Amino acid sequence: MQVTVIGLGPMGHAMAAAYLDKGYDVTVWNRTPAKAAALVARGARLAPGVAAALKAGDLVVMSLTDYDAVHAILEQAPEALAGRTVANLTSDTPERARAEAAWIAAHGGVQLTGGVQTPPPGIGTPGAETYYSGDAAALEAHRAALEVLTGIDYLGEDPGLAALYYQIGMDMFWTGLTGYLHGQALASAHGIPAEKFLEQAVKTMNFEYFARFYAPRIDAGDHAGDVDTVTMAVASLEHVVHTAEAAGLDTGVPRAVLETFRRAHAAGHGGDSLTRLTETLKE
């Protein structure tokens, strides 16, 4: 029931608070110590330095802006990594996750890479999940403590995998959410408030039907245009661009999508399904 949390941005703060809620003995460290005040008031211990934070317990949870921040912190006390499991719940590329795992291993520690799929208010609530990858034995040894934060979706031994799955999710999240914001900007330009369009937005943004329909076809390389075509997408996107233009909106986002479909069309795939883009994007 002992844990160290390094990094007290909104996410690390929520994590340390979740451990305090469950009665853990919590040590925290942050570059800006003032951010620990509310946690210390609740019983957390503020370590005087990185070495003391690492040595306080077997499990060290890190939630920082990126791996540059992680490394800038850990290189202050590499000798204190021996025997520690670092649950590195920091977003960055798979390559950086692998490199940091190797560096931590060279100093006698173990990195479990994590990709948290919930915003800070979701920490400690049912249904929240984190991708993990890395040493399975370390994960099992610390399962109970990690499950205080979120459920565990373990992907395998490669420390880059959790970062890869997380970035795939972020690719979908950022373009999808920008789609929502762009569409709502169009609605707002026509005097339709976000709360009025909410139910229509929720239905439109639910892509489950499409993902389930397309996934087996993508895997089979089957891009038959029996239900939708690239030609149709080009025409539809031109209507979107013209409607957004008429409303005085910046059209950079739908134009970028339109150009991608036009590329598939120009390559002779006008009659293919929208799934053809999974190939066009590699060309």
Q: Give the sign of the dihedral formed by CA 124, CA 128, CA 130, CA 135.
A: positive
Write out the DSSP string of 128-149: -EEEEEE-HHHHHHTHHHHHHH
Contacts of 174 (CB under 8 A, 6+ apart): none
- 42 binds ligand NAP, rule: CB under 6 A: no
- 94 binds ligand NAP, rule: CB under 6 A: no
Q: Which residues of 216-238 are buried (b: 16+ CB within 10 A; e: fewer)?
A: ebbeeeebebeebbbbbbbeebe
Residue from the set 1, 31, 171, 173 that interacts with ligand NAP by CB under 6 A: 31
- 116 binds ligand NAP, rule: CB under 6 A: yes
Give min distance, CB of 197 to ligand NAP, in A: 24
- Stretch touching ligand NAP by CB under 6 A, among 30-38, 133-141, 195-203, 264-272: 30-38
Give min distance, CB of 67 to ligand NAP, in A: 9
Residue from the set 27, 85, 88, 90 that interacts with ligand NAP by CB under 6 A: 90
Classify strands 151-154 and 2-6 as parallel, antiparallel or unpaired.
Answer: unpaired
Site string for ligand NAP, 57-76 (x = CB under 6 A): ------xxx---x--xx---
Residue 90: what are its φ and ψ, rounded to 5°? -105, 140
Within residues 207-236, the interface with ligand NAP by CB under 6 A covers none
Token duo for residue 129: 């999940």
Residues within the interface to ligand NAP (CB under 6 A): 7-12, 30-32, 35, 63-65, 69, 72-73, 90-91, 116, 119-120
